[in-house]
Amino acid sequence: MAKKTVATLQEGKKDGRSYSKVIKMVKSPETGAYVFDEQMVPNEAVKDFFKN
């Protein structure tokens, strides 16, 4: 019974996966150490995030 309820709830959220979490390693100008830049971006903007 619970499986049907969970499946029904997930059916309504079709736009929930239109965003991706992207992580980019960036060298800090101050210390020279690497830091991680994490963001949630729309799937269409993933390539633009890694270009910059």
Token pair recorded at residue 29: 């100008």
* Block residue for tokens 């830091």: 35
Q: What is the pLDDT of residues 16-40, one digit of tens each?
A: 589 999 999 999 999 999 999 999 9
Higher per-residue pLDDT: 24 or 5:
24
Q: For every residue of 35-47, which 3-state class applies, written as one string?
A: EEEEEEEEHHHHH
Share of the chain above pLDDT 70, in %: 69
Predicted confidence band at 52 (pLDDT cuts at 50, 70, 90)? confident
pLDDT for residue 6 is more than 80: no
